[in-house]
Structure 1
C-alpha cells in the first residue's frame, strides 16, 4: 500500500492505525481529522436520506450511519452515489430488524437521487402511441426514461413514505399490504407516485425489454386485478417512455 492509500484507509477505519508519519502528537491531530471526515460522511447520508432520518430520529440514524461508513467507506470523492449499499446494510442491521420496511424506504431515496441526476432525455407523448396499429402496440418494446425507477415492496411503502415525508397527515396505517411506487423526474424535481401492484409489474416487464403484449399477458396471470388501460394511462400520461421500438423502426 502506498502512503496515500494507508492514509485514506485509516481515515474511515478507526481500528486501523494511521501511517507512521503520524506517530506521536501528529496522531492526535490525525484522529481529529478522521472524526471530522466521519461527521462529514454522516451528514452526507442525512442529506441523501431525509425520510430515513424522519423515521428513525437523528440519534438512531447517526449511529447507524457511523456503522455504515465503517463498513462501506466511499469509493469516490463524488458523494452522489455514497449510500447506494445502505438498503442491503439496513437489511442486516440488527437494531433495525423490527422495521423491515426501512430498506425499501432507502431504495426510494436512492432512486430519487438517481432520478435527479439522470440524463434529460426527451419523452414520448400520447401522439406517438396514437399512430400505431393494435398489432404494433402489442409487439412494441418501450424504453423507459432513465429517471424512472419502479419499486415494489411487501410493505405499505407508499403510505410509510408519504407519512414520513409529511405529504399526508399523521395516521395509523390500517391495511398493512404490499405497495409499489414509481420514482421519476418529470421537470426539475424528482417525484414519488403510488402504483398498483399490477402497474408496477407491467412497467417492470417493459423496463426489462418485454414486448407490451407479452408483458401485459404475463402480468394478467400474476395479478388478476391488473388493469391494462389504467397502466397504459400511467405510462403514457406521465410520459414515462423515451422511445418506442416497433417492427419498422423507432418512434420518437
Structure 2
C-alpha cells in the first residue's frame, strides 16, 4: 500500500534566504567559534567587540539576528520532520529543535539536507529517549527527503523479466532506482506516519513494520511491506542474486509472495536494470 506525501515538493524546496550576518558586515574580527556558540545559545553572552559597522555596539542587532536564525532553523527542522513535530507537540518540538541545533549546527546553506543526526539525537535527548519509535519515524522522514532529492533513472521494461529464462533470471541481480529507500523497524512506523499524516488512517497497533519508499513520479511514496518484503529488498540493495534474495525472504517468511513484490517494484518504476 503506497501513500503519496502531500505537499512534499513544497516542503523540500529551496532553502529560505539567510539573514544578514552581523559578523560579516561589522568589520570587526570576531572569533567564529565564539560567534557561532553565542548565535545558537540564547543564554551565551554576546561576542565581545562586535559592532554594527558604524562603530556602535551590535548588541541589539545581534539579538535580533540570533532570534531570526533560531526561528529559521527550527522551522526548517519542523518542515523536515512534520510527523515528529506532531507527535511531540508544537511547543515541545521548539524546545527539541533548539537543543538539536545547538548540538548540530548546519554545515551547509541547503536546509533541505539539515537534520541527518536527528534519529541519533532523539535516542539520547533526555525528554525523548524513552519514546522508542521516534528515532525510526525520523529515519522514515529522512528517507522521504533523500528519496525526493535522489537522481532520476530510466525504469526497466517489464518485458525484460518476462523474456529472460528462469535460470538466467535467478542468477541475475535486479538493480533498484536511486530513489529507493528501505526503513526497517521493530515499531509500526508506517502506521504511525500514516495516522499522523493521512486523513482517515487507522490507529496504529503494535507490530514491526518495514517501509519501502519508492518514487514513481515526482514525489516519493511510502509502502508498507508484507512479511519477507523487507528482507527481499534489503538483499537486492546489497547486490544479492535474485535467487539468494528470494531465499532470504522466504527464510524470514515462508509465505513470501515474489510475484506481488515484483509487481510493486515494476509498477512504481523502482527496477532499472537486470545484470548478470
TM over 0.5: yes
- TM-score normalised according to structure 1 size: 0.88
The one-character-per-residue Cα deviations of 1:81-107 (angstroms, maximum 9, x if unpaired) are 101110111111221234211111111
Query: Please, which of 252, 260, 264 is the counterpart of residue 222 of structure 1?
Result: 252
Give the number of equivalent residue pairs: 244
Matches within 5 A, 1:95-114: 95-114=127-146
Cα distance in structure 2, aligned partners of 1:214 and 1:145: 20
Secondary structure at 2:106 match in 1: coil
Matched, 1:86 2:118: yes
Structure 2 residues without counterparts, runs of 5 or longer: 1-28
More helix by share: 1
Q: Which moved more, 1:19-28 or 1:104-113?
A: 19-28
The one-character-per-residue Cα deviations of 1:8-46 (angstroms, maximum 9, x if unpaired) are 454234565554332784234212211210110000011
Residue pair 1:150, 1:183 contacting (<8 A) in 2 also = yes
Cα distance in structure 2, aligned partners of 1:83 and 1:202: 29
Matches within 5 A, 1:108-187: 108-169=140-201, 171-173=202-204, 175-187=205-217
Residue pair 1:152, 1:197 contacting (<8 A) in 2 also = no
Residue pair 1:125, 1:237 contacting (<8 A) in 2 also = no
Matches within 5 A, 1:188-227: 188-227=218-257
Residue pair 2:30, 2:50 contacting (<8 A) in 1 also = no
Q: Which moved more, 1:125-134 or 1:9-18?
A: 9-18
Q: Which moved more, 1:232-241 or 1:148-157?
A: 232-241
Cα distance in structure 2, aligned partners of 1:197 and 1:31: 53
- TM-score normalised according to structure 2 size: 0.81
Cα distance in structure 2, aligned partners of 1:50 and 1:177: 22
The one-character-per-residue Cα deviations of 1:213-248 (angstroms, maximum 9, x if unpaired) are 1111122223333222222222223221112212xx
What does residue 62 of structure 1 align with?
A: 94
Query: Please, which of 65, 68, 73 is the counterpart of residue 33 of structure 1?
Result: 65
Cα distance in structure 2, aligned partners of 1:192 and 1:88: 22
Residue pair 1:141, 1:209 contacting (<8 A) in 2 also = yes
Shift of 1:199: 0.8
Cα distance in structure 2, aligned partners of 1:87 and 1:102: 8
Q: Which moved more, 1:150-159 or 1:9-18?
A: 9-18
What does residue 267 of structure 2 align with?
A: 237
Q: Please, what is the CA RMSD of the aligned residues?
A: 2.2
Residue pair 2:182, 2:210 contacting (<8 A) in 1 also = yes
Cα distance in structure 1, aligned partners of 2:200 and 2:81: 19
